[in-house]
C-alpha cells in the first residue's frame, strides 16, 4: 500500500509530460504545412506546369511562407524547453515558461564554458567528436529534443518547489516567483558542466535504439506504428513519437551539408533544401504516409461496418456520431472519436487495428512512398504528397487506402456479428433510468455543470488539464465519477488509469470544456 502514492505520482507525471509535447507539436504541424505549400509552389516543376504562379508577388508570398514555416523546425528544442514547464506548472505558468528559456540558455552557456576551457572550441576534430553546433548563437553540444526535455523537467521541478519560496526580508524582492528563474540559472549552469561528461552515454543509448530500428528493416516502421496505437489509450504515445521524430532513434542523414537526426527533422530539412530531388524513404516511413492506410481507408471502413451492424431502429441515432468521427479522422487526423467507439467493447478489435496500422506503415515504406509531416490526414496527403510531385508516389495512397477500407470493413463486420459485440447502435433498450443530459452551455457545445457534477464536483478534482482530445485529471475519490452521466453528456470514453488518475475523451473541443470546468470550479 505504501507504494501506491508513488506509483500514482509517476503515472500522473508521465501523462502530464506527454501532454506538454502537444503545444510545440501543434505548431510544428502547422509550420510544416506552410513549409510544404511554400516550397512546392516555388519549385521549377510547378512554375513550368502552372505559369500563372510564376510572378514576383506570388513567388515572394510563397517564399515568405517557406521562411515562416521554418520557425518551429529551427527553434523546436527551445520550444520544448519552454512548453514542458508551462504545461507541468499548476500555478504561475508564465514564470515557469520564462524559467524554461532561462534554463535552456544557461545550460548551453555552461556547456560552452566547459568546451572553451577544455580547448574543444576551435578544434575541428574535437568539435565534431562532441557534436558541437550553434545553439541560440552559442557554440554548444547539440543535445536536441532530449536535452530540451531534460531542461523542461528540471525547471518544472524547481518551479514546483520554489515559486512560493520565502527569502529573508532584506532579500524579499528576489523571493517567490522571481526566485524560480534565479535558481534555474544556477542549477542548469551546474548541469551544463556535467553534460559534456555524460552526454556521450545518452547519445550512445539513443543511437542504440536507432540501430535496432534500422536493423529491423521494414519491421521498424511496423513496430513503431503498432506501438504508437497500443500506447494511445494510455496517453503515452507522444513519448514514443517524440523519440522517433526528433532524436537519433529516428535515423540520421546528411542534408544540404548538415547532419540531421530524427525522422521528422530529416524530412523538414529535405523539404527546405533546394538540392533535394526526393525525400528519404527511411525517414518518411515513420511519418504521415504510414498512418494514411488506416486513417483514410481503414477507420472509415470500420465506421461503415459499425453502421451496418447497428440495429435498424438505431442507425439514425448513431449516424451523426459516426460521420463526425470519420470527418475528424480523415480531415483532422484525430482518430479517438472512432477508436473509442470499439476500444472498450472489443479490445481485440483495437489490437487488430493496431496491427493493421503497423502494417500500413510497413507497406507504404516498402512501396517507396515518401509523404512526410505528422497527421496522416487528407491535408498531409495533398500538401506533402500531391503538391510535391509524383516522386512521392502519392498515387499509391488511394489504392492502399481502398484495400485497408475493405479489410477493416470485413474484419469489423465479421467480428461484430460473430461475437455479438456491443458497438454503437447494437445495444438493446435498457430499463435503467435515463441519465441526465443537459443543454449545451456557452461555445463549447457541452454542459460543463453536469460534467463537473459527474466528476464528483469541484472538491473531487485535484488537478485538471487537457491534451488534443481528452481531459486529463487527478481526482480524490474515483468512486464519485459517474461514467454513464459523462457519456450521456458527450464524453466519448472514460479511462480510469488508477485510483486517482482519470482521462475523459471529449474530442477536438476539449480545451473549451476544460476552460468551462475551470470557470465553474473557480466560481
Sign (positive or negative) of CA dihedral 444, 447, 452, 456: negative
Read off the pTM. Answer: 0.69
CATH number for the domain whose boundaries are 448-522: 3.30.1360.60
| Structural domain boundaries in the chain | 10-212, 219-272, 283-418, 448-522
71 near 32, Cβ under 8 Å?
A: no
> How many other CB atoms are found less than 10 A from the CB of residue 276?
17
- pLDDT of 440: 61
From the number of C-beta atoms within 10 Å of its C-beta (0-12, 13-18, 19+), residue 425 rates as buried
260 near 39, Cβ under 8 Å?
A: no
Among 13-22, 115-124, 246-255, the range with the most confident prediction by mean pLDDT is 115-124
Angle at alpha carbon of residue 469, lines to 463 and 474, rounded to 5°: 15
459 near 435, Cβ under 8 Å?
A: no
Given a cut of 70, whether residue 12 has pLDDT beyond it is no
- pLDDT of 231: 83
- pLDDT of 210: 67
Catalytically annotated residues: 467
Given a cut of 50, whether residue 297 has pLDDT beyond it is yes
Mean pLDDT across the chain: 83
Give the residue ranges of DSSP H helices in 163-280.
179-215, 219-231, 237-246, 263-272
Given a cut of 80, whether residue 39 has pLDDT beyond it is no
Which pairs with CB-CB distance under 8 Å and at least 24 residues apart come from 339-345?
339/232, 339/299, 340/492, 340/493, 340/505, 341/306, 341/423, 341/424, 341/492, 342/302, 342/306, 342/412, 342/421, 342/423, 343/233, 343/493, 344/493, 345/421, 345/422, 345/423
- C-alpha cell recorded at residue 440: 449545451
Confidence of residue 498 (pLDDT cuts 50, 70, 90): confident
Q: Count how many residues are written for the chain.
A: 523
**β-bridge partners, 135:** 138
Distance CA 449, CA 438 (A): 9
Higher pLDDT, 445 or 139: 139
Higher pLDDT, 263 or 170: 263
Given a cut of 60, whether residue 271 has pLDDT beyond it is yes
- pLDDT of 7: 45
384 near 392, Cβ under 8 Å?
A: yes
Among 162-176, 357-371, 482-496, the range with the most confident prediction by mean pLDDT is 357-371
Q: What percent of the chain has pLDDT over 70?
A: 89
Higher pLDDT, 91 or 302: 302
| pLDDT tens column, 48-57 | 777 888 888 8
- pLDDT of 6: 41
Q: How far are the Cα atoms of 77, 107, 143 from residue 206, in angstroms, in the given order?
A: 17, 20, 11
- pLDDT of 343: 79
> How many other CB atoms are found less than 10 A from the CB of residue 104?
27
Least confidently predicted of 200-209, 297-306, 370-379, 499-508: 200-209
Given a cut of 90, whether residue 253 has pLDDT beyond it is no
| pLDDT tens column, 301-349 | 999 999 999 888 888 878 877 888 898 889 878 887 788 778 777 788 8
Give the residue ranges of DSSP H helices in 247-372.
263-272, 281-284, 288-292, 299-309, 315-332, 336-339, 347-366
- pLDDT of 115: 92
Least confidently predicted of 64-78, 201-215, 434-448: 434-448
Higher pLDDT, 122 or 60: 60
Of 181, 234, 186, nearest to 497 by C-alpha is 234
Confidence of residue 464 (pLDDT cuts 50, 70, 90): confident
Amino acid at each position: 500500500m505504501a507504494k501506491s502514492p508513488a506509483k500514482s505520482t509517476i503515472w500522473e507525471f508521465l501523462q502530464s509530460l506527454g501532454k506538454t509535447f502537444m503545444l510545440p507539436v501543434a505548431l510544428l504541424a502547422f509550420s510544416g504545412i506552410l513549409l510544404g505549400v511554400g516550397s512546392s509552389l516555388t519549385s521549377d516543376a510547378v512554375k513550368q506546369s502552372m505559369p500563372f504562379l510564376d510572378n514576383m508577388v506570388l513567388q515572394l508570398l510563397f517564399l515568405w511562407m517557406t521562411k515562416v514555416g521554418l520557425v518551429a523546425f529551427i527553434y523546436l528544442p527551445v520550444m520544448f524547453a519552454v512548453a514542458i514547464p508551462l504545461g507541468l506548472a499548476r500555478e504561475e505558468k508564465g514564470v515557469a515558461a520564462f524559467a524554461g528559456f532561462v534554463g535552456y540558455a544557461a545550460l548551453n552557456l555552461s556547456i560552452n564554458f566547459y568546451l572553451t576551457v577544455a580547448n574543444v572550441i576551435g578544434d575541428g576534430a574535437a568539435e565534431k567528436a562532441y557534436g558541437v553546433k550553434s545553439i541560440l548563437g552559442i557554440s554548444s553540444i547539440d543535445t536536441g529534443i532530449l536535452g530540451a526535455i531534460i531542461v523542461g523537467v528540471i525547471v518544472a521541478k524547481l518551479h514546483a518547489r520554489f515559486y512560493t519560496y520565502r527569502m529573508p526580508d532584506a532579500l524579499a524582492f528576489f523571493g517567490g516567483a522571481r526566485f524560480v528563474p534565479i535558481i534555474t540559472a544556477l542549477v542548469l549552469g551546474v548541469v551544463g558542466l556535467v553534460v559534456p561528461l555524460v552526454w556521450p552515454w545518452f547519445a550512445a543509448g539513443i543511437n542504440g535504439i536507432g540501430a535496432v530500428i534500422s536493423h529491423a528493416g521494414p519491421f521498424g516502421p511496423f513496430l513503431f506504428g503498432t506501438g504508437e496505437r497500443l500506447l494511445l489509450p494510455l496517453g503515452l504515445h507522444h513519448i514514443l513519437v517524440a523519440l522517433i521524430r526528433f532524436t537519433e532513434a529516428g535515423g540520421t542523414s546528411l542534408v544540404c551539408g548538415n547532419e540531421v537526426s530524427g525522422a521528422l527533422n530529416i524530412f523538414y530539412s529535405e523539404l527546405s533544401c533546394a538540392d533535394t530531388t526526393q525525400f528519404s524513404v527511411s525517414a518518411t516511413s515513420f511519418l504521415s504516409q504510414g498512418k494514411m492506410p488506416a486513417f483514410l481507408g481503414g477507420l472509415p471502413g470500420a465506421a461503415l461496418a459499425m453502421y451496418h451492424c447497428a440495429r435498424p431502429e438505431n442507425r439514425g441515432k448513431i449516424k451523426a456520431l459516426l460521420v463526425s468521427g470519420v470527418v475528424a479522422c480523415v480531415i483532422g487526423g484525430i482518430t479517438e472519436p472512432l477508436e473509442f467507439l470499439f476500444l472498450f467493447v472489443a479490445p481485440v478489435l483495437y489490437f487488430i487495428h493496431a496491427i493493421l496500422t503497423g502494417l500500413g506503415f510497413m507497406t507504404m515504406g516498402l512501396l517507396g512512398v515518401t509523404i512526410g509531416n505528422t497527421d496522416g490526414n487528407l491535408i498531409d496527403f495533398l500538401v506533402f504528397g500531391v503538391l510535391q510531385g509524383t516522386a512521392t508516389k502519392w498515387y499509391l495512397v488511394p489504392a492502399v487506402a481502398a484495400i485497408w477500407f475493405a479489410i477493416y470493413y470485413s474484419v469489423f463486420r465479421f467480428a461484430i456479428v460473430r461475437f455479438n459485440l456491443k458497438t454503437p447502435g447494437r445495444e438493446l433498450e435498457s430499463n435503467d433510468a435515463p441519465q441526465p443530459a443537459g443543454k449545451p452551455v456557452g461555445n463549447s457545445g457541452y454542459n460543463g455543470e453536469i460534467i463537473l457534477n459527474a466528476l464528483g464536483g469541484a472538491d473531487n478534482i485535484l488537478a485538471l488539464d487537457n491534451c488534443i482530445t481528452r481531459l486529463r485529471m487527478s481526482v480524490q475519490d474515483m468512486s464519485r465519477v459517474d461514467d454513464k452521466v459523462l457519456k450521456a453528456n458527450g464524453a466519448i470514453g472514460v479511462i480510469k488509469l488508477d485510483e486517482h488518475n482519470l482521462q475523459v475523451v471529449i474530442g477536438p473541443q476539449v480545451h473549451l470544456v476544460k476552460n468551462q470546468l475551470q470557470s465553474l470550479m473557480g466560481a
